[in-house]
Structure 1
């Protein structure tokens, strides 16, 4: 279910999709996540301060749960040796967490090792992926992808293209809300081309977290440090 505050704008955005693509989506088969509007269910429009745009859902059913960057297959973030095994296997997530630990002053720039992470005092830190999602939303960050569904790797560009009218209508409707757009990676930056000529968005463009340079990017750290996404609320 979507939050009632999003219903008018999402109806307009959904109608912007091609009839054939809407018919495909309404079959609710052949793609995942089926609940591709999940991000609009737990954060209201009024409480949304920023939209974080990724590329498309994780290419695994258990991981793709309708929120950009949130891996449904990951439960715990930490282990006695540092990050948990699922986090270490997820390069983008691992780099994002390292950046956040660094930004919060919990790691030294010259030592981001598993051993250093294991020595971080975690008493005041969150421990699960679900709590990280909740903290994003506590900071008013809506987690959205440029394509809301996944079928196969070869069709990623197709779904990004098919969702462009949806995103264009959505961003047009929200252009007067003075929200921030956090754009991860080159594909997400294509979002800028969908914006109205005159808009009230603030654009935060970054490397994709898959790149190791993301961890040490001073602008990224300056933006995320005050949000303290790894702290218990």
Structure 2
């Protein structure tokens, strides 16, 4: 089946090791729902700028973890094609005296709660007190040179640990329910997970939409952890997430 040209062009953002797999995944979508990709190509969706497959810049042979969120941020400047990497965020820490996290991080709820979870896991914050003076003290230490300073550095740290940062739906459209778009991408994910099966990466599923991937046999066969989506405050105190990410020391330089 013919894949629309704008969708194929977006494959250029992926690492070459992924291209044949992603093409097979798109063919699987087309076989299951022939009208989906042509309709998508003619529609307005996020991410823009051919970043649909940007998460696949991580080379296939370096994948050790597959982190799956729900979908792109619903803002053009934020949706990068990489799970919870908000394009509107540069600095992580507030530049204001007595400030904690930067304003853009605070606006990106999932990223904010992920940062706080990391600080709790590192012993810098108590999960019962993750704001105000306690968070400001973390910021002061970070800006003194003890921690990474930008979201780009965070993405590099995650990549260095072998993370593939995906969303259950690779697109966001305000007039389409995210669960509906995610369902359309299931054949694509089955293809991707089959390609990873021999490597047995650990799968981390964030939120109800991501958990729907467990319908796929290739996903069921992988070791995995499911958690609430980071936009929930309870994520900060999630012990499994703390145990997984804490030893990685993602905030440290």
**What's the TM-score, normalizing by structure 1?**
0.92
Contact 2:64 2:201 in 1 (8 A): yes
What is residue 118 of structure 1 aligned with on the other side? Answer: 136
Moved runs in structure 1, 4+ residues, more than 6 A? none
Contact 1:54 1:145 in 2 (8 A): yes
Shift of 1:198: 7.0
Q: How far apart are the structure 1 equivalents of 2:201 and 2:72?
A: 23
Q: How far apart are the structure 1 equivalents of 2:218 and 2:179?
A: 22
Report the secondary structure of 1:191's partner residue.
helix
What is residue 92 of structure 2 aligned with on the other side? Answer: 77
Contact 2:213 2:219 in 1 (8 A): no
What is residue 247 of structure 2 aligned with on the other side? Answer: 226
Structure 1: 5+ residue runs without aligned partners? none
C-alpha spacing 1:124/1:65, structure 2 compared with 1 (3 Å): same
Structure 1 residues 163-215: Cα deviation after superposition (integer angstroms, max 9, x where no partner): 1111112112222211111000111111111133873x110111111222211
Structure 2: 5+ residue runs without aligned partners? 1-12
Shift of 1:82: 0.5
Shift of 1:154: 3.6
What is residue 100 of structure 1 aligned with on the other side? Answer: 118
Contact 2:193 2:219 in 1 (8 A): no
CA RMSD of aligned residues (A): 1.7
Paired positions, count: 229
Q: Which has the higher helix share?
A: 2
Q: How far apart are the structure 2 equivalents of 1:17 and 1:113?
A: 44
Segment of structure 1 superposing worse, 148-157 or 83-92: 148-157
Contact 2:214 2:220 in 1 (8 A): no
Contact 1:208 1:214 in 2 (8 A): yes
